[in-house]
Amino acid sequence: MIRTADVVIIGGGATGASLAFQLACRGVTRVVVLERRFLAAGGTGRSLGIIRQLYPNPETCRMVLRSLRVFQNFRDLVGGESGYVGCGALIGVSTAMRPTLEHSLEIQREVGIRAELLKPEELARVEPRINPSGLGAVLYEPESGYGDPTAVTLGYAGAARDRGVVIEQGAAVTEIRVEGDRVAGVATENGERIDARVVVNAAGLWAGAVAALAGGALPIVVGRHPVFIVKRGAAFGPPHMVYLDLAGGAYVRPETGDLTLTGSLTEDESRHPMDPDLLGGEAGFEEAAEALERTSRALPSLADCRYQQGYAGAFDITPDWMPILDESPLRGFYVAAGMSGHGFKLCPAVGELMAELITEGRTTINRAPFRLDRFAARRPGGSFVGSFLGSS
Ligand SMILES: Cc1cc2nc3c(=O)[nH]c(=O)nc-3n(C[C@H](O)[C@H](O)[C@H](O)COP(=O)(O)OP(=O)(O)OC[C@H]3O[C@@H](n4cnc5c(N)ncnc54)[C@H](O)[C@@H]3O)c2cc1C
């Protein structure tokens, strides 16, 4: 059977669901989301959901602040729950990184983000359990914290459905149809054909494979990022804040039931490519031991935590660790992928920006840092830590 739609979105993760909602809110009702497995089956369902607001450029700072406001008011603005917990976030840097952090703080303030620079000795007033040695400064973001990526995706999907969007799960796109210089629609593994003049690649970790269906390529590497779950000891006390130790290379994010999610901030994940279909596989004991050593250096009272489990996560990483939000060279075929580990905290603003781009051809937030052609203009080099501060 051949159907028609105004927009087909490939991928039912946080990005695809947010965009579907935003299009429907702008009156584009003939929207079909095709998800090859189930909603949030990809990177979204494995995400830590950390919301921090430190970025090296004003555009991404604006997007994360806008997204934070949506998470904080999700029930009213979208519907459903975002799971937002505003426990606060601390970001520790070395003395060498301090000048870059100060510059980023200026950008945060210009944009309206609440943030404060602490000296290491001032940490005790905010979170005395963090080890200040090796730190040159600490950024405190009182409104940051974490949310629930699966709940957010389901909230957006439910609200989009209420506005007429069709969401099909178990519907893998296997063909992208092209007519002349523009996209003409898709076909699925179920033998369905949907004709549409706009198709969006929101396939996250599989975005490269989806681009290839249209004969294109994206500068995206799928890089492994293992996550470890530990149980805090009874003596630990109340839950900690989100802490990102850029100097020591560790992070912690509290979870319910005395659990902490932790991992490393030292690796450049793009040097550890992973088959995205291995997402969620078990992590090795040795890599867990190495990461937990760094974690307990950052937060010594976690030294007696009990290891529960580890799993392989992965990021869709661009060369500069910033998303690609653009129309591809094939007219009508858009890309919202390469989220580089930021796709949850940015998903409300990404949905808005992409919906503006598709319906109006322009965006409120300057799209320059997210354009596809930026990689041709310069030789980008990035890292996860660099996506906080930029290069010094
Ligand atoms: C371990 C881990 C920790 C993270 N931590 C954070 C964090 O703390 N904060 C933060 O902001 N971000 C974090 N992220 C990143 C963030 O979660 C992701 O960037 C975001 O969820 C990606 O959403 P997405 O919709 O773009 O992609 P995905 O969630 O990967 O969704 C893409 C969807 O496309 C579907 N698909 C693929 N191919 C096809 C096809 N051919 N046809 C139809 N459907 C298809 C997939 O099944 C998948 O459901 C983390 C990610 C991971 C894995």
CA 329 to chain centre: 24
What residue has token string 């979170």?
Answer: 127
In angstroms, rounded to a whole number, what is the distance separating the alpha carbons of residues 110 and 132? Answer: 28
Assess contact for 354 and 73: CB atoms under 8 A: no
CATH 3.50.50.60 assigned to 2-47+150-219+320-389 = yes
Asked if residues 145 and 252 have their Cβ atoms less than 8 Å apart, the reply is no
Q: Is there a contact between 335 and 324 (Cβ–Cβ < 8 Å)?
A: yes
Give residue limits of the domains in the chain.
2-47+150-219+320-389, 85-143+221-317
Pairwise CA distance, residues 359 & 194, whole Å: 20
Burial of residue 219, with CB atoms counted within 10 A of its CB: 0-12 exposed, 13-18 middle, 19 or more buried: middle
Give the separation between CA 201 and CA 338, rounded to whole angstroms. 11
Backbone angles phi, psi at 47, to 5 degrees: -75, 150
**From CA 8, how far away is CA 231, in angstroms rounded?**
42
Nearest residue by C-alpha to atom 19 in ligand 1: 343
Q: What is the pTM of this model?
A: 0.97
- CA distances, 217 to each of 120, 212, 272, 342 (Å): 45, 6, 20, 21
Q: Which residues line ligand 1 (CB under 6 A)?
A: 10-16, 34-37, 41-44, 46-50, 149, 172-173, 202-206, 210, 225, 227, 313-315, 339, 341-345
pLDDT of residue 382: 73
Cα distances (Å, whole numbers) of residue 44 to 124, 262, 280: 34, 17, 11
Instruction: Tell how far the Cα of 154 is from the centroid of ligand 1, in angstroms.
Output: 14
In the block, which residue shows the tokens 């003939």? 30
Quickly list DSSP for 171-217. --EEEEEEETTEEEEEEETTS-EEE-SEEEE--GGGHHHHHHHTT--
The dihedral region occupied by 229, where left means phi > 0, alpha psi between -120 and 50, and beta the remainder, is beta
Q: Could you identify the atom of ligand 1 that is nearest to the CA of residue 316? A: 19
> In 3D, which of 223, 222, 260, 228 has the Cα closest to residue 243?
260
Distance in Å, CA 352 to ligand 1 centroid:
17
Assess contact for 250 and 262: CB atoms under 8 A: yes
Q: How many other CB atoms sit within 10 Å of the CB of residue 390?
A: 15
Q: What are phi and psi of 18, to 5 degrees?
A: -60, -45
Q: Which of 247, 250, 231 is nearest to 239 (CA)?
A: 231
Q: How far is the CA of 133 from the centre of ligand 1 (A)?
A: 35
Q: Please tell me the predicted confidence (pLDDT) of residue 392.
A: 42
Residue from 316, 344, 346 to probe ligand 1 pocket by mutation (most atoms less than 8 Å from CB): 344
Q: Which atom of ligand 1 is nearest to the CA of 346?
A: 11
Of ligand 1's listed atoms, the one at least distance from the Cα of 204 is: 27
DSSP reduced 3-state for 231: strand
CA R_g for the chain? 21
**CATH hierarchy code of domain 85-143+221-317:** 3.30.9.10
Ligand 1 center to 233 CA (angstroms): 32
Question: What pLDDT is attached to residue 380?
Answer: 58
Question: Please, what's the largest Cα pairwise distance for the chain?
Answer: 67
The residue nearest atom 20 of ligand 1, judged by CA position, is 343
Looking from the CA of residue 17, the nearest atom of ligand 1 is 25
Residue 56 tokens read as 């090296």
Report how far residue 243's alpha carbon sits from residue 341's, in angstroms, rounded to the nearest whole number: 16
Q: Which residues of the chain have pLDDT under 50?
A: 392
Upper half-sphere CA count for residue 210 (Cβ side, 13 Å): 31
